[in-house]
Amino acid sequence: MSNQKAEIVDVIANLFRRRGYDGVSLGDISAATGLGKSSLYHHFPGGKEEMASTVVEQAASNMQAFVFTPLMAGDSLESRIDGMISSVTGIYGGGDDPCLLASLLSSDENGPLAERAGELIRLWADRIANALRAEGIERKEARRRGILAVALIQGGLITSKAFDSGEPFKEAMATARTVLLAR
């Protein structure tokens, strides 16, 4: 992907993250990118759907690099969990930035974007569970903790937005860490 297209995808991702797929028009994308609609169609012949698909695939790549990789790097489970938590805290601006996947999941009800976003959320819980299983935690318990950690993180984001404060997110992250590292 060219630098220009990557920059355009970042702008579109931010719009979808903040307003959801349905809350963003092609005019909004044009205004935010500074590109006319014909230029947008040049980069994305499939229109808004192709833009959204590209954004979701970029999110998948980012999750691999910034969320899943830390779960595999490090000598101890604690260092791997802390690496993921640090990355996730950065990605979500300490609780100030909504989750792109959650925004797409809720705005494209039962559509392909929601399906792919749901796959990525489930993969996140599975990757956490795999990290826990590698430390000897039983499969069912590792899965339960992985799902709970993702639920805490996502809930913390929503609650932080509702209270206009990053504190609920920080508390959710601390609780997720405790849940994941419990022996």
**At what angle are helices 167-181 and 77-91 packed, to 10 degrees?**
160
**Tens digit of each residue's pLDDT (9 = 90 or more) over 75-134:** 899 999 999 999 999 999 999 999 988 888 887 666 778 888 899 999 999 999 999 999
Q: What's the confidence (pLDDT) of residue 113?
A: 81
136: alpha, beta or left? (left if phi > 0; alpha if psi -120 to 50): left
How many whole angstroms from its chain centre is CA 20? 13
Which pTM value belongs to this model?
A: 0.90
Q: Are 120 and 101 in contact (CB under 8 A)?
A: yes
Report the distance separating Cα 3 and Cα 7, nearest Å: 6
**Tens digit of each residue's pLDDT (9 = 90 or more) over 138-166:** 999 999 999 999 999 999 999 999 999 99
**At what angle are helices 112-133 and 47-63 packed, to 10 degrees?**
10
CATH class given for the domain over 52-181? mainly alpha
Q: Are 42 and 129 in contact (CB under 8 A)?
A: no
Show the tokens assigned to 142. 């590792």
Reduced to 3 states (helix: H, G, I; strand: E, B; else coil), residue 43 is helix
